[in-house]
Chains A and B, each alone.
Chain A
Amino acid sequence: MLQVVELYKKFGKLQVLKGIDASFSPGKVTAVIGHNGSGKTTMIKCILGMVIPDKGEVLLRDESVVGKWKYRSELGYMPQIGRYPDNMTMGQIFDMMQDLRKGHKTELDKELVEKYCLTEMFYKKMRTLSGGTRQKVSAALAFMFNPPVLILDEPTAGLDPLASEILKEKIMVERAKGKTIIITSHIMPEVDELADDIIFMHEGSIKFHKSMLELKAETGETKIGKALGKLLS
């Protein structure tokens, strides 16, 4: 479904991505893990077209999307830190996004908006909202247009336990529908719960890309945190 091929990116003198190769398949949750600054977010931004790679390709259904824009209607993105125009109300944000994505065919998925009770806060200005509430807005927006590819950058960071439970449930439901889902996370129990595949990144390259089962079988551990510890030691 989604592939990155030989992705290179340099910021100034810093080589952030050193030839990333990965493919993400439908109906699976792929967790991208790694230290801070290992290039996870840069890779995601390359897929989204926010960062333009120096070399390499991003393929969606075997078609190159670097420098294109229409393909983004097939992506739902939840950023690490959701930032929105201060002067707009939450309702205006939702209206605007629906307005901008008018071309989309499928029905709107407002499940998260309802479960997070966001409609009650539609009159509030974005700058008055707490970080967690903004994360809820980001999550609701990412799922709203029913995109076949979902990219969630540290989705549960900053959410309260109840809200992150709702989000995880939603991720599982969407996976069952055959969506391609990419998440990054530092919370290992969460990766345990959600992921089918693991990509481990280190200093701009992929150390391994394995399925959860393989990883556990190889190391003989049941928890991903311990398995990783074994692999890396």
Chain B
Amino acid sequence: MLKITKYVLIDILRNRILLMYAIFLLIISLSLFSLEEDPAKAVISLLSVVLIILPLVGMIFSTTYFYNAYEFLELLLAQPLKRNTILLAQYIGLSTCLVLAFLFGVGIPVLIYYPNEIGAVLVFAGVMLSLCFAAFAFLASVSTRDKARGIGLSLLFWFYLAIMYDAIVMGIMYAFSDYPLEKIVVLFAALNPIDLARITVLLKLDISAMMGYTGAIYQDFFGNWKGIVFSSLVMAIWVVLPLWLSVRIFNKKNI
């Protein structure tokens, strides 16, 4: 498996887009940290960037890569290799590259300007999001042979999780505001990796008071160590589940 990953890495690391992505992140993080006097504020701004850009770029890049490497896939499939191995090796190669770009673009500035627990949580959330959305992208890509449809599908995923989901949750909370929704709200957050990442970081910043009543619930649930273990676990599930599904689909796929 690692052998295949090695060749995937050789292939991707020559990709200019990835380099541009890393530099773009680096410029944003450095400028945010140098513009804001209070690094905590910069982290909040950086968080919004990370939550929108990271999933989007991760997903589009992964989907495009998957389709562009279709020839490579065909070549590998005619060799004595397991299908699981081929797909997972590609995933590992690709997600390693995305994580490296993120660590370079955001991890290094955070390490310089804000080397504490909150910074670590932000970087951790970003890494998990990269892994998770690369897995989503693989799921979209193995589901259809058509490149345009695959990219469309992953954009839809992103649009749903990054934008629509919050609106739906707000709507539900508003409509059922007479009922006790505390536990359900926690569940809603867990069902969306982006929300989960946002809450985990925001609670560390101790501004949950600004989030009103819901903030108090979140603080109560996610604020202690149990909450952190819980959110890491759910994030891990968000990586493993789409990956497992795509392996299953890929095993039955006709190339």
Question: Which residues of A does B touch, CB under 8 Å?
Answer: 11, 45, 48-52, 69-73, 75, 77, 79, 83-88, 92, 96-97, 99-101, 103
Question: Smallest CB–CB gap between B149 and chain A, Å?
Answer: 15
B79 touches A72 (CB 8 A): yes
- Contacts A77-B78, A96-B7; is A85 near B71 (CB within 8 Å)? yes
How far in angstroms is the closest Cβ of chain A from B182?
48
Closest Cβ of chain A to B38, distance in Å, is: 44
* Given A84-B72, A100-B3: A50 in contact with B10 (beta carbons within 8 A): no
| Total B residues in contact with A, Cβ cutoff 8 Å | 26
Interface mask (B64-86 → A, CB under 8 Å = 1, otherwise 0): 00001111101111111111000
For B71, the chain A residues whose CB sits under 8 A away are: 83-85
Kindly provide the distance from the CB of B154 to the nearest chain A CB, expressed in whole angstroms: 22
User: What are the residues of chain B within 8 A of A72 when measuring CB–CB?
Assistant: 78-81
Given the interface contacts A72-B79, A72-B80, does A50 sit within 8 Å of B11 by beta carbon? Answer: no
Contact: A84 with B254, CB < 8 Å? no
- Min distance, Cβ A146 to any Cβ of chain B, angstroms: 14
Within B24-45, the residues touching A (CB, 8 Å) are none
How distant is the Cα of A21 from the Cα of B35 in the complex, in angstroms? 73
B7 contacts A97, C-beta separation under 8 Å: no
Whether B79 pairs with A85 at a CB distance below 8 angstroms is: no
Q: A85-B69, A88-B7, A88-B10 are in contact. Are A101 and B80 (CB under 8 A)?
A: yes
CB of B226 within 8 A of chain A? no
A75-B78, A88-B10, A97-B79 as given contacts; A50 in contact with B255, CB under 8 Å: yes
Instruction: Judge whether A71 and B80 touch: CB under 8 Å.
Output: yes
Can you name the residue of chain A whose Cβ is closest to the Cβ of B68? A86
Give the docked Cα–Cα distance between A119 and B79 (Å).
22
Chain A nearest CB from B250 CB (Å) reads 11
Using Cβ atoms and an 8 Å threshold, which residues of chain A touch B79?
72, 97, 100-101
What is the bound-complex CA distance between A100 and B86, given in angstroms? 11
* Complex CA–CA separation, A151 to B244 (angstroms): 32
By the criterion CB–CB under 8 Å, are A11 and B78 in contact?
Answer: no
B17 to chain A, nearest CB (A): 12
Given the complex, which residues of B lie within 8 Å of A85, measured CB to CB? Answer: 7, 11, 69, 71-72, 75
A48-B78, A92-B10 known; A69+B3 contact, CB < 8 A:
no
Min distance, Cβ A66 to any Cβ of chain B, angstroms:
12
B81 pairs with A88, CB closer than 8 A:
no
Provide 10 A-B residue pairs closer than 8 Å at the C-beta atoms, listed in order of the A residue.
Answer: A45-B255, A49-B77, A50-B78, A52-B252, A69-B83, A70-B80, A72-B79, A79-B74, A83-B70, A100-B3
Q: Which 8 A-B pairs have the closest CB atoms?
A: A83-B71, A73-B80, A72-B80, A50-B255, A51-B254, A85-B72, A77-B78, A69-B82
| B252 cross-chain contacts in A, Cβ below 8 A | 52
Distance to closest chain B CB from A153 (angstroms): 11
Say whether B183 faces chain A, with CB atoms less than 8 Å apart. Answer: no
Once the chains are docked, how many angstroms separate the CA of A225 from the CA of B103? 64
Residues of B within 8 A of A86 (CB): 68
Tell me the complex Cα distance, A55–B79, Å: 23
Chain B 110-127 near chain A by CB (<8 Å), digits 1 or 0: 000000000000000000
Query: Which chain A residues border B72 with CB–CB below 8 Å?
Result: 84-85
A48 touches B77 (CB 8 A): yes
Q: What 5 additional pairs, Cβ within 8 angstroms, besides A51-B254, A52-B252, A101-B80?
A: A69-B82, A69-B83, A85-B72, A96-B3, A96-B7
Report Cα–Cα, A96/B77, bound state, in Å: 14
Any chain A CB within 8 A of the CB of B236?
no
Contact A100 B81, CB 8 Å, known A50-B254, A51-B255, A85-B72: yes
Mark interface residues in B235-255 (1 if CB within 8 Å of A CB, else 0).
000000000000000001111
Could you say which residues of chain A place their CB within 8 Å of the CB of B83? 69
Cβ-defined contact, B77 with A100, below 8 A: no
A92 CB contacts on chain B under 8 angstroms? 7, 10
Look across to chain A and name the residue whose beta carbon is closest to the beta carbon of B72.
A85
Within the complex, the shortest CB–CB distance from A137 to chain B, in Å, comes to 11
What is the minimal beta-carbon distance from B64 to any residue of chain A, in angstroms? 13
Contacting residue for A50 out of B69, B74, B80, CB 8 A: B74
**A77 surroundings in chain B (CB, below 8 A):** 78
Within the complex, the shortest CB–CB distance from A210 to chain B, in Å, comes to 29
Q: Which of B4, B68, B74 contacts A100 (CB 8 A)?
A: B4
Which of A69, A88, A101 is most buried by chain B, counting CB atoms within 10 A of its CB? A69
Min CB–CB distance B84 → chain A (angstroms): 9
